[in-house]
Amino acid sequence: MSPTKEDYLKILFELGGRTEQVPNKEIANRLGISPPTVTEMMNSLVKAGWVVYTPYKGSKLTPKGTEYAKKLIRKHRLWEVFLVKHLGFDINKVHPEAELLEHSTSTVLADKLETYLNFPEYCPHGGAIPVDSMEAQEVKTLHLPEVEVDTPVKISRIVDDEKLLQYFRNHDLNIGDSIIVTSRDISLDLMTVHHISSKETIQISQTIAQYLFVEIISS
Amino acid sequence: MSPTKEDYLKILFELGGRTEQVPNKEIANRLGISPPTVTEMMNSLVKAGWVVYTPYKGSKLTPKGTEYAKKLIRKHRLWEVFLVKHLGFDINKVHPEAELLEHSTSTVLADKLETYLNFPEYCPHGGAIPVDSMEAQEVKTLHLPEVEVDTPVKISRIVDDEKLLQYFRNHDLNIGDSIIVTSRDISLDLMTVHHISSKETIQISQTIAQYLFVEIISS
DNA sequence: TATAATTATTAGGGTATCCTAAATTTATTA
DNA sequence: TAATAAATTTAGGATACCCTAATAATTATA
Ligand SMILES: [Mn+2]
Ligand SMILES: [Mn+2]
Ligand SMILES: [Mn+2]
Ligand SMILES: [Mn+2]
């Protein structure tokens, strides 16, 4: 498998290709390539048994493709943990590094790295690290805009993109923080959040808040 | 730069391309590809300023090509140190892993890794790790067959190839060991070595012994 | 339901890597 | 030095990935 094909499988997984048909356009957008290239690649991935593709509709991962994608995500996130916890990388900077390393990582290496890191369950952005032969079990999380007003929640995951991470950091919203949504204005795409420990009041875009996952604090 | 081109530069460096013209055949052999492919690639590397190529004679690295190759060797060897010292890999198994990782390593990552490893000077096979803006300073070593009989020497480096490493390990010759060449039979391509600490007498091929580097023990 | 907008596929190319077979050049050696 | 052997290059192809322009299918909208 080439790094290129591996990235296609991973993106497909991230866009919900385990259960739903992912349209070519989304893949093209995410990878920054042209739609015809996606069509071509899908045919190639179908031939190798990684995906099921319905022309004009989109593609889904086969069980084999799903397994492969999970292994890649595991490698990616293990490297992120290493880069942040051992090498001192900034959380916002590890993604592109892991995006490359994941393709140069044998199973043996991933296993040893996992042991070395003491079997971490989450990457620095809060994404669950899939465990071999087990379903990737993300903790039951909600997208921030789905949370009821006045319900205390804890930020458990931020979609791993440098710009998004910077946006949330600029608004003092980091993984582990406890917050409460105090109000929401759908027409203005704005929501107001109360940061519990700092007592700050923060206003963020509701559209962007989709990329913030939270879990309800059971207290 | 693609991983493919990077490997060409590195091989060129390893085959002495800093100072001498390396024939295409040697590169083809080492990379396991056909000679026409090498010719083609050399033209491409010349166009980009990495090598100087004389048709029918061979190629040399330009200063720019030499610098690039050294950076790759640095990354390769830093990873080997990490794999052996932190992840517990067998010395014989790290080369192929590092051969991939080296191409997915940014300068920032290499620098942080180097710091984390506490600025190691040698890889697990005894190869010197080039320090930025400094000549890679291999300790003054000799190939084992060049050593005078009855001179105590210490094994400082083994050319990094799984089969060679296995061969030397099978003969109980490891990095750091002190040995004495007791006799040499050129016609039979055989040399006899006395292993100081184990007191064993070892017989090895002189041709293969070329890949073993030793330094004279100044005692 | 016709028309427009969106999405996807086809057609036709381009570059990077690799290959085999044939022709050429260089090195060896009788 | 002439013939032979070895190394290299040229010719002609193949596959993987990507692209733009044109065409076709699907979806949204009036
Ligand atoms: Mn990431
Ligand atoms: Mn990637
Ligand atoms: Mn190595
Ligand atoms: Mn390599």
CATH, residue B209: 2.30.30.90
Give the one of A86, A101, A112 whose C-beta lies nearest to B101's C-beta: A101
Residue A183 — left, alpha, or beta (φ > 0 → left; ψ -120 to 50 → alpha)? beta
| Domain match, B125 and B84 both | yes
| Domain match, A136 and A103 both | yes
Q: What is the mean pLDDT of residues A67-94?
A: 97
A160-180: per-residue pLDDT in tens?
A: 888 888 889 989 999 989 999
pTM for the predicted model, two decimal places: 0.89
Domain termination site, one of B124, B140, B156: B140
| Domain match, A95 and A118 both | yes
| Domain match, B56 and B106 both | no
Residues with Cβ within 8 Å of A183's Cβ and at least 6 positions away in sequence, in order, are A149, A191, A192
Q: Tell me if B95 sits within 8 A of B162, measured CB to CB.
A: yes
Kindly report which listed range (A66-75, A137-146, A201-210, B164-173) carries the lowest average pLDDT score.
A137-146
Domain termination site, one of A15, A35, A61: A61
* pLDDT confidence of residue B3: 98
Chain B's closest residue to A117, CA to CA, is B87
Q: State yes or no: pLDDT of B31 exceeds 70.
A: yes
| Domain match, B107 and B156 both | no
Tokens 């060991």, residue located: B177
Q: State yes or no: pLDDT of B125 exceeds 90.
A: yes
How big is the CA angle at B40 (ends B4 and B130), to the nearest 5 degrees?
40
What is each CA distance from B206 to B144, B153, B173, B219, in whole angstroms? 8, 16, 14, 26
* pLDDT confidence of residue B2: 97
The answer to whether the beta carbon of residue B55 comes closer than 7 angstroms to any atom of strand D is: yes
| Domain match, B163 and B206 both | yes
Kindly report which listed range (A46-55, A146-155, B73-82) carries the lowest average pLDDT score.
A146-155
Domain termination site, one of B22, B40, B61: B61
| Domain match, B9 and B45 both | yes
Nucleotide nearest to A36 (CA to C1'): C9
| Domain match, A171 and A157 both | yes
Domain count of chain A?
A: 3
CATH number assigned to the domain comprising residue B120? 1.10.10.10
User: Can you give the three-state secondary structure of chain A, one letter per residue?
Assistant: CCHHHHHHHHHHHHCCCCCCCECHHHHHHHHCCCHHHHHHHHHHHHHCCCEEEECCCEEEECHHHHHHHHHHHHHHHHHHHHHHHCCCCCHHHHHHHHHHHHHHCCHHHHHHHHHHCCCCCECCCCCECCCCCCCCCCCCCEEHHHCCCCCEEEEEEECCCHHHHHHHHHCCCCCCCEEEEEEEECCCCEEEEEECCCCCEEEEEHHHHCCEEEEECCC
Angstrom distance, B30 CA to D9 C1': 20
Q: What is the mean pLDDT of residues B124-145?
A: 77
Range of the domain at A42: 3-61
| Domain match, B123 and B102 both | yes
* Interface mutation vs chain A, best among B75, B80, B97, B109, most A CBs within 10 Å: B109
Please give the mean pLDDT across all residues of chain B: 92
The answer to whether the beta carbon of residue A27 comes closer than 7 angstroms to any atom of strand C is: no
| Domain match, B134 and B157 both | no
| Domain match, B129 and B97 both | yes
pLDDT category of residue B122 using cuts at 50, 70 and 90: very high
B100 touches chain A (CB under 8 A): yes
* pLDDT confidence of residue B136: 53
Q: Tell me if A61 sits within 8 A of A70, measured CB to CB.
A: no
* pLDDT confidence of residue B140: 72
* Interface mutation vs chain B, best among A80, A89, A106, A109, most B CBs within 10 Å: A109
CA dihedral A84, A90, A92, A96 (to 10 degrees): -60
pLDDT category of residue A40 using cuts at 50, 70 and 90: very high
- Residues, Cβ < 5 Å to ion ligand 4: B 7, 99
Q: What percent of chain A has pLDDT over 90?
A: 71
